[in-house]
Amino acid sequence: MIIKPTAVSLFTGCGGSDAGVIKAGFNVLMANDIIPYAKDTYVANHPETHYILGSVADIEAFPKSDLLVGCYPCQGFSQGGLRKADSTINYLYLEFARALNAIKPKAFIVENVSGMVRSNYKHLLDHQLKIFSDAGYDVKYKVLNAAHYGVAQERKRIFIVGIRSDFGLTYQFPEITHGPDLDAYVTIKDAIGDLPLWPEGEFYDYDFHWYYMSRDRRRDWSEPSKTIVSNPRHMPLHPVSPIMTKLGDDKWAFTTEDKARRFSYREAARLQGFSKDFIFPETLNSSLSMKYKVVGNAVPPPLFEAVAKALPAIWD
């Protein structure tokens, strides 16, 4: 019997990080988030994991594990958020550090939006690197693009990875696998070409407001998608929509009167790299907007899998 290395997951959402960790060969012992439908979705897809619903601050004890992963909320750093450098949400990494010091795993992985590297947040990034190093880890960080790792989407995210210092090892980020002179980018057609063009009830079917029309939201079938977001109003366009043309500063328009629509939540999940059999359960917590939210908040599983697989073999 093969004994798999173990992981604990915090700020888990519906499980994009954990789907990647599981494919990388780990057994996830515990997961956690505050969003009820995130738990519903996670448990429907990974019933073997113990999922704690609620604030991580209320968790008093964590199971021992080989790996700790976390994707603490990013609204304060995000281009789509309020971008408040002093927002209290920006300090949830302290809860991750508390778990890190309690568990003392062999390694950890953190994911967050790439905006964390901007100059007005540099002090927060530096503090994270310091407290993780002070906890006894050799720490590295890098911004990765999901499209370079087999995801049908342009999505740049920062990863912070640490290996416990007593191993004397330094983490090396995975080599890019998709792009020029490599494997071809995974395209929108590759990811969702088998799905119906007009899945009624699964996409946000409302008008396109002025802000939506302030930029080009469309990519063709033969390209990776633009970044999948959690707000259905801002979800990128499906390629069935007309091409957009620029009329002026922050003003775009469709080139024809043909129908246009945003990606559905199921298509968004595929473009994030979730499996074709990913389950969206119908529960008391489910709604169209909530399905979009948990998908848009997730980490692309193939990207997290690549980062986890690049960890050295320190699990024995």
Say which DSSP state 47 is in: T
The residue type of 98 is R
pLDDT over 90 at 252, yes or no: yes
Q: Is residue 193 part of a domain?
A: no
What confidence score (pLDDT) does residue 270 get? 98
Q: Indicate whether 77 pLDDT > 60.
A: no
What's the whole-model pTM score?
A: 0.93
Note whether residue 221 is domain-resident. Answer: no
Q: Which CATH number goes with the domain that contains 74?
A: 3.40.50.150
Strand partners, 295: none
Judge whether 256 lies within some domain.
no
For residue 172, give its domain range.
6-178+299-309
Q: Is residue 282 part of a domain?
A: no
Q: Which residue, chain included where needed, has tokens 């995210």?
A: 157
- C-alpha pair distances (Å), 59 with each of 10, 41, 99, 240: 10, 21, 9, 46
Average pLDDT over the chain reads 93
- Active site residue: 14, 35, 74, 146, which one? 74
74 part of the active site = yes
- Whether the pLDDT of residue 78 is over 50: the answer is no
Kindly state the average pLDDT of the residues 139-167.
97
Strand runs labelled E in the chain: 6-10, 27-33, 50-53, 67-70, 107-113, 137-145, 156-164, 244-248, 251-254
Q: Is the pLDDT of residue 219 over 50?
A: yes
Is pLDDT above 60 for 80? Answer: no
